[in-house]
């Protein structure tokens, strides 16, 4: 039993936004209010925790995270030293390969191709120079793109005769031979194959537990893991007692991320399971990541094309590489110009959404571009169930209004402004479309939660809160300043609104009697520090389900 008092306590509960004290017992908040009332409710023997002028908030909630993938990789974020070009990247790979004395697959993660001077992945032939004998899989930080060396292609049996998967591509040379570079569903298929080849259940558990302690260090007390394969139920059951945060499991199909086949609804999958690892729902991909389904009128297409010469002048090869990613826009039956990749066409999407609902698994739909969002609206029409839309990165006011009318929750990633802002704005989207349009969505009436999409984005919610408020990228430039949120709105997106996206509104993300005892103590108050200093606030304590895991 603990009573917190002596600082600023912000509950994110509209009925009592600020209180003098919060009392917890076990894993639950017993009371909030004045100190005497809370002490009486908690009872004798409670520990008094003096905040000493610090700020207490509900624990941060990250509703779109990738813990399962993080724990699957021994060499996670192998390239955080940010190699400048292919030469430095290949030298790092050579060092990692030499240090790994085993045989069989080696899998390395964390490349940002556009950060390299060449603006691209190495090819299989280039990887063969530093890893000629072992199969190698090199993954982008987002997993939406990767590359195999020649031994890796041979190990998977992929050749010039291998067809491209629906929603993906094996990039080929002029003679039709795979270069090793894999796009979207091809990358996810290789990801699943190499992950299974390197599977080590106990190592996975150890890395998962370690990662949850890192989350707690950032004040996170609860996440949604958005790419858990069906066999992850057993894996999480083994890890659950030692996890430092609560993990809601959002499953993907058995074949790979993006597989639209709802997993067999065997009892273990649908069971609530350990309180640390409850079932969330089913994740579906509507479009690609960097290759999102962007939809434009003829006028927007022409305006977008007109920005290309200036972008090349300013950014050189990177601008060209970015333009090539989405391919040449083509006119479709709707009379509009589309670029990017649709993973699921309209019929398969509608079937998968309804299959998920029938199976009792709430759908979460990855839809980055406005074209994919249009497809989501058609797929969920008439459904009386809670739907999540992940990302919604390119949108306008008209589309936001239609999303609001369906009652969907949008889970956005404000930290992408910080992480990817320069890349995202190299080729601006044509008006009235906006990038990460938080204000447009909120003003339209959409319930917006915020997340990291880690490892694609920065883990710290405070970085995301700052980005949502300032709209600043790393270089200091501001992206769509009119899309900024206020501090209270941004914090709500990482607490009460994020909890709602996980299906636990009122039970998490808020300090009120009966809610989970998930709390974060900060050295300063986000409401009172300078907006561009929010990310520097120190997390001085984290409690998840009443257990202190930080500070």
DSSP per-residue letters across 521-540? EESS-TTTS-GGGGGG--EE
How many structural domains comprise the chain? 2
How far is residue 271's CA from residue 534's CA, in Å, rounded to a whole number? 39
Query: Distances from the Cα of 99 to the Cαs of 24, 95, 398, 499, in angstroms?
Result: 48, 6, 54, 42
Task: Give the predicted TM-score (pTM) of the model.
Answer: 0.95
Q: Are residues 450 and 342 in the same domain?
A: yes
Q: Is residue 62 part of a domain?
A: no
Q: Is residue 86 part of a domain?
A: yes
The residues, any chain, with a CB within 8 Å of residue 372's CB and separated by 6 or more, are: 286, 287, 292, 293, 342, 366
Over the stretch 360-411, which tens digit does the pLDDT of each residue have? 889 999 999 999 999 999 999 988 888 999 999 999 999 999 999 999 999 9
Percent of the chain clearing pLDDT 70 (strictly above): 97
Domain that residue 157 falls in: 75-197
Q: In the chain, what are the helix, strand and coil shares in percent, each to the nearest 5?
A: 35, 25, 40
Over the stretch 249-258, which tens digit does the pLDDT of each residue have? 999 988 889 8
Q: Is residue 105 part of a domain?
A: yes
Q: Are residues 192 and 295 in the same domain?
A: no
pLDDT of residue 405: 95
For 174, counting Cβ atoms within 10 Å of its Cβ (0-12 exposed, 13-18 middle, 19+ buried), the class is exposed
Count of all residues that appear for the chain in the document: 551
pLDDT of residue 267: 47
Over the stretch 447-466, which tens digit does the pLDDT of each residue have? 999 999 999 999 999 999 99
Q: Are residues 317 and 456 in the same domain?
A: yes
Over the stretch 191-225, which tens digit does the pLDDT of each residue have? 999 999 999 999 999 999 999 999 999 999 999 99
How far is residue 11's CA from residue 3's CA, in Å, rounded to a whole number? 14
Over the stretch 110-160, which tens digit does the pLDDT of each residue have? 999 988 989 899 999 999 999 999 999 999 999 999 999 999 999 999 999
Whether the CB-CB separation of 164 and 134 falls below 8 Å is answered with no
How far is residue 342's CA from residue 294's CA, in Å, rounded to a whole number? 10
Nearest alpha carbon to residue 449 among 480, 406, 405, 408: 408
Q: Are residues 177 and 291 in the same domain?
A: no
Chosen domain end from 485, 500, 531: 485
Q: Are residues 146 and 290 in the same domain?
A: no
Q: Is residue 509 part of a domain?
A: no
Q: Taking 80 as the threshold, does the pLDDT of residue 315 lie above it?
A: no
Element (H or E) spanning 23, and its range? Answer: strand 18-25
CATH of the domain at 478: 3.20.20.140
CATH of the domain at 101: 3.10.310.70
Which of 3-12, 416-425, 470-479 holds the top average pLDDT?
3-12
Q: Taking 80 as the threshold, does the pLDDT of residue 321 lie above it?
A: no
Chosen domain end from 144, 171, 197: 197
Query: Distances from the Cα of 282 to the Cαs of 255, 269, 290, 362, 379, in angstroms?
Result: 14, 11, 22, 6, 15
- Residue with the larger pLDDT of the pair 78 and 7: 7
Q: Taking 90 as the threshold, does the pLDDT of residue 510 lie above it?
A: yes
Q: Is residue 137 part of a domain?
A: yes
Query: Distances from the Cα of 382 to the Cαs of 319, 354, 406, 519, in angstroms?
Result: 41, 11, 9, 38
Mean per-residue pLDDT over the chain, rounded: 93
Residue 268 banded pLDDT, cuts 50, 70, 90:
low
DSSP conformational letter for 194? H
How far is residue 184's CA from residue 339's CA, in Å, rounded to a whole number? 14
Q: Where are the beta strands (DSSP E) in 113-152?
A: 136-140, 145-148
Q: Are residues 292 and 401 in the same domain?
A: yes
Chosen domain end from 427, 461, 485: 485
Q: Where are the beta strands (DSSP E) in 372-512?
A: 388-391, 394-395, 409-412, 434-435, 447-450
Q: Taking 70 as the threshold, does the pLDDT of residue 269 lie above it?
A: no
pLDDT of residue 163: 97
Q: Taking 80 as the threshold, does the pLDDT of residue 270 lie above it?
A: no
Q: Is residue 439 part of a domain?
A: yes
Mean pLDDT for the stretch of residues 6-22? 97
Q: Are residues 192 and 290 in the same domain?
A: no
pLDDT of residue 506: 96
Q: Are residues 437 and 303 in the same domain?
A: yes
At what angle are helices 346-358 and 370-380 packed, to 10 degrees? 50
Element (H or E) spanning 4, and its range? Answer: strand 2-10
């Amino acid at each position: 039993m603990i009573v917190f008092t002596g600082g600023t306590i912000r509950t994110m509960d509209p009925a009592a936004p600020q209180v003098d004290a919060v009392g917890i017992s076990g894993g639950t908040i017993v009371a909030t209010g004045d100190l005497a009332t809370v002490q009486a409710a908690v009872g004798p023997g409670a520990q008094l925790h003096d905040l000493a002028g610090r700020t207490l908030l509900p624990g941060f909630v990250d509703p779109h995270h990738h813990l399962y993938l993080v724990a699957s990789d021994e060499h996670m974020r192998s390239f955080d030293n940010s190699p400048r070009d292919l030469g430095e990247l290949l030298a790092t790979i050579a060092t990692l390969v030499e240090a790994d004395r085993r045989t069989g697959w080696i899998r390395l993660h964390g490349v940002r191709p556009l950060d390299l001077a060449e603006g691209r992945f190495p090819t299989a032939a280039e990887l063969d120079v530093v890893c000629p004998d072992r199969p190698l899989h090199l993954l982008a930080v987002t997993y939406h793109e990767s590359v195999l060396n020649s031994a890796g292609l041979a190990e998977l049996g992929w050749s010039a005769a291998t067809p491209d998967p629906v929603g993906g591509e094996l990039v080929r040379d002029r003679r039709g031979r795979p270069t090793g570079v894999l796009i979207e569903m091809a990358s996810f298929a290789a990801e699943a194959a190499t992950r299974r080849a390197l599977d080590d259940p106990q190592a996975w558990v150890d890395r998962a537990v370690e990662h949850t302690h890192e989350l707690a260090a950032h004040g996170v007390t609860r996440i949604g893991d958005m790419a858990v394969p069906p066999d992850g139920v057993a894996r999480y059951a083994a890890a659950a007692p030692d996890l430092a945060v609560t993990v809601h499991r959002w499953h993907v199909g058995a074949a790979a991320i993006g597989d639209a086949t709802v997993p067999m609804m065997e009892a273990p999958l649908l069971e609530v399971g350990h309180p640390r690892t409850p079932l969330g729902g089913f994740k579906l991909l509507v479009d690609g990541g960097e290759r999102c389904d962007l939809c434009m009128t003829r006028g927007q297409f022409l305006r977008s094309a007109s920005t290309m010469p200036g972008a090349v002048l300013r950014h050189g090869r990177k601008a060209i590489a970015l333009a090539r990613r989405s391919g040449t826009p083509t006119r479709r039956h709707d009379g509009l110009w589309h670029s990017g990749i649709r993973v699921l066409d309209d019929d398969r999407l509608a079937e998968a959404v309804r299959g998920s609902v029938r199976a009792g698994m709430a759908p979460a739909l990855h839809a980055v571009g406005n074209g994919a969002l249009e497809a989501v609206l058609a797929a969920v029409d008439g459904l009386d169930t809670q739907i999540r839309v992940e990302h919604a990165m390119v949108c306008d006011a008209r589309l936001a209004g239609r999303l609001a009318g369906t009652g969907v929750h949008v889970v956005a990633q404000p930290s992408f402004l910080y992480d990817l802002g320069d890349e995202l704005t190299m080729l601006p989207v044509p008006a009235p479309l906006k990038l990460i349009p938080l204000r447009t969505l909120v003003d339209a009436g959409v319930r917006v939660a915020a997340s990291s999409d880690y490892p694609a984005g920065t883990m710290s919610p405070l970085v995301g809160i700052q980005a949502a408020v300032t709209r600043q990228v790393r270089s200091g430039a501001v992206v769509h300043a009119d899309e900024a949120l206020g501090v209270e709105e941004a914090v709500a997106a990482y607490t009460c609104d994020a909890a709602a996206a996980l299906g636990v509104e009122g039970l998490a993300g808020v300090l009120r009697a009966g809610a989970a005892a998930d709390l974060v103590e900060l050295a300063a108050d986000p409401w009172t520090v300078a907006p561009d200093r929010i990310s520097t606030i120190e997390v001085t304590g984290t409690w998840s389900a009443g257990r202190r895991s930080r500070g």
